[in-house]
Amino acid sequence: MVANNNITKIFLVLNSGSSSEKFSLYEGEDEVCSLYFEGVEIDGKKKFICTITRADGSEEQVDKTWDTLDGAFKEAKSIFEREGFINEAHPLDGILVRTPAAGTYFSQHHIVDDETFVELEKAKLTYPLHVPGAIRGVKNAIDAFPGVLVMTMSDSEALTRDSRRDALYALPKEVIEEFDLGRWGAHGSSYGYVMGRVKELGLLEKKMVICHLGSGCSVTAFVDGEPAYTSMGETPLEGLMSSTRTGSIDPTVGALLGEKLGAAEAIKLLNKQSGLLAMAGSSDMREIIAGAEEGREDAAVAYNMFIDGVAGKIGEFAAKMGGIDAIVFTATIGERSIPVRSSVIGKLEFMGFKIKNDAKLDKSKGYANVAEEGSKPIYVIPTNEAAYMIKKAAELVDAQ
């Protein structure tokens, strides 16, 4: 396979869900078009529809439906070619399949080969909700785009460093080796991108904590720009409560649920039916905040538990590092929710942090310091996970 040597590489980034496919086409770090295939019910039958989103933000629904997601790939290729994004003069340099999976193999990015499929099958044990979609994505990408490099993009690569001080579990060595267990962490593409921005912007401090708060939430501590501690573990379930995940829970509860429901259903319950959704009936932080302001006790309890979790994890990392010099907020909630940032920092004023509640993101700078005068820095830095994956994919292509 020969890679395109254009200065600006063209990559197709694929996010495969259990009942959806999203194709995002990039020229360099610029998204030029995306296609979202999702399942809907039409005349009592499950069908899949496609929405096109262009660079200017305009949307168009394709006047066609599909019975399965497998057809999405060839349709996506046809649409991108029809729109003029892919042709002989502008061929794809590679297809990036985001692959949430644990283990040594998936702690790195890979160009797909026979070993990849062997490792994906193994990974289904701990990631039964995500890995089947990744397998489908990889297979269909190879079939629909013959000759194009297909790459599995790790969700933990940026966290897999010798600097990590919390990568082990206190389990018998033979158990760890048999199941290839470790606290791999997740949101690695986000942390890799944001820490890169921290360094580019000249904002690096010795001891920093980055809070990735979105539909999934995690916190990672960095010493001299390298990861030291992270909140997620073998899977993203460990650590903070989030939109639909429990966060850390007594392992006995998981074992009991597994015995009663079966492992796959127990994992689904803990990941998809818990968290804010279970506590307050919504997975949307904006609705949780509105409910709390309206006096709904369930929303207030959920909000306060969420805030305590984030602030508590930051405090834990401060104790482990012997202090914190700066805090960064990123991802949807971290970037957009002034109430969440204010509530979290309000619990950390004893550490020398105080926030300006009316601070706005300066788009010309691409970040904001929302700290009050005299406070340690508190930054809001938008993340761009695709940009990080594209950078790493370009390195793989160049090496190939």
The residues annotated as belonging to the active site are: 155
Q: What is the CA radius of gyration of the chain?
A: 21
* C-alpha to C-alpha distance for 284 and 273, rounded to whole angstroms: 13
Distance of CA 313 to the CA centre of its chain: 19
CA dihedral 58→62→66→70, nearest 10 degrees, is -50
Query: Largest Cα–Cα distance in the chain?
Result: 62
Residues 76 and 62: beta-carbon distance below 8 Å: no
Residue whose tokens read 């082990």: 168
Residues 173 and 46: beta-carbon distance below 8 Å: no
Q: What does 132-186 look like in DSSP terms, one character per residue?
A: HHHHHHHHHHHHHSTTS-EEEEESSGGG-STT-S----SS-HHHHHHHT-----S
Q: What are phi and psi of 337, to 5 degrees?
A: -95, 100
| Nearest to 222, CA basis, from 247, 238, 204, 242 | 204
Number of residues that this document lists for the chain: 400
* C-alpha to C-alpha distance for 367 and 90, rounded to whole angstroms: 33
Per-residue b or e along 142-163, where b marks 16 or more CB atoms closer than 10 Å to that residue's CB: bebbeebbbbbbbbbbbbbeee
